[in-house]
Each structure stands twice: as structure tokens, then as C-alpha cells.
Structure 1
């Protein structure tokens, strides 16, 4: 079964990484979502790609200066469209409630916390605590570009499948050793520059392969024909129904 992941929710129809974007998945028959998580000063895990507010809210500044109580005053939707005015940055706990309610599967990307290793460890611990509230039957992958953090997450929660993320051009000859060190089940490479040979090498080594970010249906089809297991996309609702089955 090939998988389509809603990248930050259906992020072309609603503001990325908001409950509004994730809530659109079930009505469109999309079974898998992808989100990014980082941490506030008080340890609250929030769903946000950036560690600053500047790009996707009506405020400027660092996540690491905020408390949970500040979220109610931050608008994360009006930049996208009038109808999303007042949309908030969600906590991971809030997203997990939605995932359970809508019976979604979830890929949680742990961001490379720029506040330092101590905060990264706190992020890992608090992500684990939140994930303990996922219902039985919900499928889960945890991924990160920070392979040290990913290995530490896997050490603390070995039952969870993990994925090593790689930016375009960053796949070195040591990729297999890195995946083994992280005890990863998946590799998540960037689409740009990805070749059939590379995918063949990943598959031959026993890894499942999910590629980001694929917003072209013909390219997605090519990747699937090369043996890719899944793609992350901003337009999951545009994919044929065979890729969008809830629970797949």
C-alpha cells in the first residue's frame, strides 16, 4: 500500500500545522498526517515548523520565550485567509486528541531544537509523554533531521518506528551507518535529486522510504513505480482515492 502524508495538514487549503489543516484530512479521506513539533519555555510541546513566530502568525519572536498561556493571544490563521482568523498554534496534546477522534495516523517530526541540548532532551521527554495518549491502533512514525535527537528518542521509546530525515544533497556515504545507529525503520529523503538507484539502495538495505515534499502527481507516480512507500505532499486531496484511504 502506497501512502500519502498530508504535509503539515492540508496546508494548501488551511494554514499549515493548525488544527484546521489537520481537521480537513478526514473529510478528504486522508489517513496520514505529518506535523512538526518544538517546545516553549515552560516545556509545552507545540505544533510548529519554525522556532519563531514571524512567518505563520501575527507576531514576531521566538517560541522559546513563550509560555502556554501566550498561545491564546497569537493568531496563526489570519495570514492565510480571513476565514482562519483566530486560529491558534496547537499543542501536540490537542493534535493527538484530534488524531484519536478522526482515527488518523501521524508522523511527528521533532525539530532540531535550537535552544540547546537540554531543551532538546526536554522536548523528547514531553513528546513521549504526549504520544502515550495516542489510542491503540493509531500508526505512528517519529522523524528528525537531528539524528542525535532521533537516536535518543528511540532509546527512550524503542517501540516507536523512527525515520532519519535528509535534506537534498546531504545524504553522505555514511547514511546506512546513521540509520543503523538510530535503529531507524524508515528513511525520509528530499525529492530533489533523488534517483531510482538511490531508492533501490535504501530498499535493498531493508528500509521503507517516504519522500518529501512531492506536489506533482506525475513525479509521485514515478517515485511509487521506483519502489517508494510514501510521499509527503501539500496537496493530498488532489491524489487519486487509492492513495487516500483512511486507515491505510
Structure 2
């Protein structure tokens, strides 16, 4: 029911055992597009999955990331209908280690323990190697995401800023008490004055959702904008 769990299932179990994937999994930006496009059935976009549609696909198991209320409700309704559901907490995708734990969980659920162990061993070894090469830095960053018409600054609990702080970058959002992901405007970005701005490329939209705010004249002297470090 979510692109994250679909990607894990495809990597571990292959296409023949996957009854359906979210339509977003088949988009060019997906990590497993080639595999996902081999799955005939897709779930429409949105955060309110239709339990009846899912039941019509006759799944033996549903993998569900309960990130939104609609996904949580759908998972409960499927369980009530007698379909086994593995509900994955969104925090399971917040760090490399929790991602590895989630791959292990899905592997155990699908009977693909050996494949899961192979994948996570390589992944965690690569992360460890990166950890060993990081250097001290005084660079202050801001990580932005866009949903609809809203641009938001990300707190360190999410994967992107979490990885940057892990690389010793400092979240400039601390200057405005950024303890949770929240909308931000040009004035606040100018206030935190980041050296680097990271943009989340959500579903292949690139920089377009951020163009208006980053083109604001109030940001002209912000180091990240002035030095083109976006």
C-alpha cells in the first residue's frame, strides 16, 4: 500500500509474488521502476486506500505504512475482513538502521530471510564506510520539502536532514526552534540564513515546487542562494 514497502517486497520476493503496487512505484523516479512496471495491478494515488479495491485483488498479505489516517483506517478494515496486515510505522524509514530493520521484518514475513540478510549486510556496510569518511564542518543547512502549495522545513527526525546531521552538518532550523516539520516562508529562511539548502525531489517534481520561494528577493543575500548551493 506504500511505495517504500512495495520496493522492499519487490527486491526481496520478486514481481510474481506482488499482487499490486502503488501507481507511484511505477513512475520513473522510483527506485524499482523496472520491477514495479512488471506488476499488472496498481493502487491509485492518494492517502485513502480503498479496502474494497484491495480485497478484490485477493491478497494473502498487505504491507501498509500507516503514515496517514486513511492508511491506518484501511489497514484496520482489511484486518477486520480477515486479511493479514503488516502495519509499518513511518519512523521505520527515518534512519539507515531502521530501514535495515524494516527490510529484515519484511523478509521474515515473506519467508525471504536470506535475501533480506544479504541486502541489509551490504547496505549497512556501505553506511558504515560513509560514517568513517565524514569530516567536521561548520556548514549550516536547511532541508525543504513541498506538498501541495506548502513548502516546509524538515526537522532532524526525517531521513534527509537526519543523514545531513549525521554527516556533521548543522540544521539552521534550530535558530527558529525547528522541532517538527512545518511550513516556512522566505522571511524565515532569511532569518536562519543557511549555507546550503537541500530540496527533496518529491515524485520527480524537481525544483519547480520551490521556485517561487527561492526566487524571492529577500533571499538574494542568503549564502545558499547567493553562492548557488541548493
What TM-score, normalized to structure 1? 0.28
Larger Rg: 2
- Name which structure has the greater RCO, CA cutoff 8 Å, separation 6+: 1
What TM-score, normalized to structure 2? 0.29
Which structure has greater helix proportion? 2
